[in-house]
Amino acid sequence: MAKFPRSPGSAVDGTCPTAILKVSSSQEAAALAAANACDILISDIGLADGSGLDLVRQLKGLYPLQGIALSGYAAPDDVRAALDAGFDRHLCKPVLPERLFGTIRELIG
């Protein structure tokens, strides 16, 4: 998850996160989202302790954040399921950093 500045003219001008918060489980992500005002969730679909689809449904139901699915599940049905669950974008692994950063800029733009 990442937090971006909200004020125009900030030092990072809304394109660089003020914090990137790494978690290793969906349970940890839910706790982190409750304690921080995160702007973007970047998650895989297949998680060790659950589903990224369930995670984005849960978090978007509680907080105003954007979601990027970063997954190897790339069949048309998988992409549709990710978007239907609440992810705003779906990127197929492997993804170039430039593509990920461009997607982040697009969402916070």
- C-beta separation of 31 from 51 below 8 A: no
Dihedral, CA of residue 89, residue 94, residue 97 and residue 100, to nearest 10: 0
Predicted local distance difference test score (pLDDT) of residue 18: 67
Instruction: Show the domain range for 39.
Output: 2-108
Predicted local distance difference test score (pLDDT) of residue 3: 58
pLDDT digit string, tens, across residues 84-109: 999 999 999 999 999 999 999 899 87
pLDDT digit string, tens, across residues 28-56: 999 988 888 888 999 999 998 999 999 99
Predicted local distance difference test score (pLDDT) of residue 44: 94
**Count of domains forming the chain:** 1
Q: Residue 25 is part of a domain; what is its CATH number?
A: 3.40.50.2300
In whole angstroms, give the CA distance from residue 36 to residue 56. Answer: 16
Query: Following DSSP, what letter does each residue of 18-41 receive, concatenated?
Result: SEE---SSHHHHHHHHHHS--SEE
The band of 4, judged by pLDDT with boundaries at 50, 70 and 90, is low
